[in-house]
Amino acid sequence: MAKEKTIFYCTDCGNEVLRWQGQCPACGAWNTIAEKPSAPKSKAPKSTSGRRDLPRIGYNGPKALREVETTNELRFETGMSELDRVLGGGAVEGSLVLVGGAPGIGKSTLMLQICDSLCRFADVLYVSGEESERQIKLRAERLRVRGEGLYLLAETNLENILDAVEELKPNILIVDSIQTLYNGDLTTSPGSVGQVKDCTLALMNVAKSMAITVFVIGHVNKEGSIAGPKVLEHMVDCVLYFEGEQQTTYRILRAAKNRFGATNEIGVFEMADSGLTEVPNPSEMLLEGRPTDTPGTCVTCAMEGARPVLAEIQALLTPTSSDRPRRMASGVDFNRMMLMLAVLEKRGGLLLHSCDAYVNVVGGLELGEPAVDLAAVIALASSFRDKPVPGDLAAIGEVGLTGELRSVNALNQRLSEVHRLGFTKCLVPSRGSKITAPDGLQLIRVKNIREALVAIL
């Protein structure tokens, strides 16, 4: 009896290797190599010329670019303006959208809530591999989802799901979640790399061939990325991440990939007893309860897509006797924080090497653009000198390695948002394009961080 052959693959990226290894050579992840039986290779008939006869089903040949007919993408509103904003103005007909997030963050709640609006003009099929129809009905009643035009299916077998889609022909398909589906033709367990890839490919074919908008829910692993192979995110049209701490009521929906819109838009929701409610003004939410006349805090304005958002950056510096001071960053890049500490010590004259440093962005917001550098520097210096920053002041600007301040994009739009929230002063770089300050907002122009510290502290 012939020995069954096995292959080794990475559970994170799906890369196949010849033998077991401790680290995946493709993605660099450790202890992710798993073993599975290799699928038997089918023998294809050979032609008389010795070449295999390739299938030609549906092959129409290449077309010139000028001969390709184009139509405007058909969009429809989901009933939640924050979700429509992240999607680029609404969902696109025939698209495949992947919604990822930690367990209990509110993914299923969001998908079930939009059904109330979608069912007014379309038929929706909600497929759940984690809950029964009765559980979904109870949750729909709690969320006040009427359910006219909403069909439920508790199934994990891919073939049965495709049969239901063929029979019902819905306009919108929601799958919760992709890790629970399985194809009976494969021997691997649900949630494995092969199963996730095969099921996603089948759903993508359904979306493109039948013009059905498909929303797929995916869980995230402990690293924060969607569980399964990385190729899963390349297959879909849009990848949304639902972020937030379960201890807080606010949730942030962020687009990591969008073929039909911008990828840096965010939507803000608040989790209540009756479901998710939209937060049209996230700046007020993020600044709610902000302490005044307290050292170590400064407000900045970041651009999330086309929306300016005010955020509070807090810093804490405490003396330490350890040879290796502790550094911690939440909401900002850790390496960027280390760079700001080095610039403050070298160019600002503050001896920070003997202090533990902690930086946090209030509200769970992730700030990745360099426009928040100046606010982080001001917060760190304020904590070190134990002097508060004026409560009516905001800081916007990028800090260079020589301590100079550089201008940022969309500065006029940021200043308008700062003024709208009641701030009367704003610290900005002196260099840059022409700045138009709103009436009642005083601009404090500085060239470097030394001038900024002298002007504020």
Convert the pLDDT of each residue in 312-360 to its tens digit: 999 999 999 888 999 999 999 999 999 999 999 999 999 998 999 999 9
Average pLDDT (215-224) is 77
Would you tell me which CATH number, out of the four given (3.30.2420.10, 3.30.450.20, 3.30.360.10, 3.30.230.10), belongs to the domain 285-456? Answer: 3.30.230.10
Instruction: List 125's β-bridge partners, or say none.
Output: 151, 173
Find out whether 88 and 208 touch, Cβ atoms under 8 Å.
no
pLDDT tens digits, one per residue of 79-93: 999 999 999 889 999
The DSSP element (H or E) to which 166 belongs, if any, is helix 158-168
CA dist 309 and 300 (Å) reads: 8
More confident residue, 232 or 433: 232
User: Hey, what long-range contacts does 163-166 have (CB within 8 A, 24 or more apart)?
Assistant: 164/125, 164/127, 165/125, 165/206, 165/210, 165/212
Q: What percent of the chain has pLDDT over 90?
A: 55
Domain ranges of the chain: 6-37, 75-280, 285-456
More confident residue, 423 or 44: 423
CA dist 373 and 368 (Å) reads: 10
Using the predicted structure, report yes or no on whether residue 50 has a pLDDT greater than 70. no
Using the predicted structure, report yes or no on whether residue 450 has a pLDDT greater than 70. yes
Return the pLDDT at 3.
56
pLDDT tens digits, one per residue of 111-161: 999 999 999 999 999 999 999 999 999 999 999 998 788 999 999 999 999
Average pLDDT (293-305) is 92
**CA distances (Å), 116 to each of 110, 144, 181, 184, 434, in order?**
11, 8, 25, 33, 47
Residues 6 or more apart from 116 whose CB is under 8 A from it? Answer: 79, 143, 144, 145, 146, 147
Reported confidence tier of residue 402, pLDDT bands at 50, 70, 90? very high
Reported confidence tier of residue 49, pLDDT bands at 50, 70, 90? very low
Using the predicted structure, report yes or no on whether residue 56 has a pLDDT greater than 70. no
Closest C-alpha to 389, from 319, 312, 318, 445: 312
Return the pLDDT at 42.
42
Reported confidence tier of residue 1, pLDDT bands at 50, 70, 90? very low
Within 10 angstroms of residue 88's Cβ, the number of other Cβ atoms is 20
Q: What percent of the chain has pLDDT over 70?
A: 89
Average pLDDT (394-412) is 93
- What CATH code is assigned to 75-280? 3.40.50.300
Closest C-alpha to 285, from 263, 306, 307, 264: 307
Return the pLDDT at 228.
57
Using the predicted structure, report yes or no on whether residue 240 has a pLDDT greater than 90. yes
Return the pLDDT at 54.
38
Return the pLDDT at 379.
96
Return the pLDDT at 261.
85
Return the pLDDT at 225.
62
Using the predicted structure, report yes or no on whether residue 388 has a pLDDT greater than 80. yes
Return the pLDDT at 104.
85
Return the pLDDT at 86.
92
Whole-number average pLDDT of the chain: 86
The DSSP element (H or E) to which 131 belongs, if any, is none
The DSSP element (H or E) to which 335 belongs, if any, is helix 334-347
Six-digit token pair at 457?
């502290």
Reported confidence tier of residue 52, pLDDT bands at 50, 70, 90? very low
CA dist 70 and 388 (Å) reads: 58
pLDDT tens digits, one per residue of 243-292: 887 667 888 898 989 998 888 788 999 988 888 999 888 888 888 888 88
pLDDT tens digits, one per residue of 100-119: 988 888 999 999 999 999 99
User: CB burial class (10 A; 0-12, 13-18, 19+) of residue 413?
Assistant: middle
Return the pLDDT at 38.
62
Return the pLDDT at 25.
85
Closest C-alpha to 228, from 29, 87, 95, 92: 29
Using the predicted structure, report yes or no on whether residue 414 has a pLDDT greater than 50. yes
Average pLDDT (300-310) is 90
CA dist 35 and 302 (Å) reads: 46
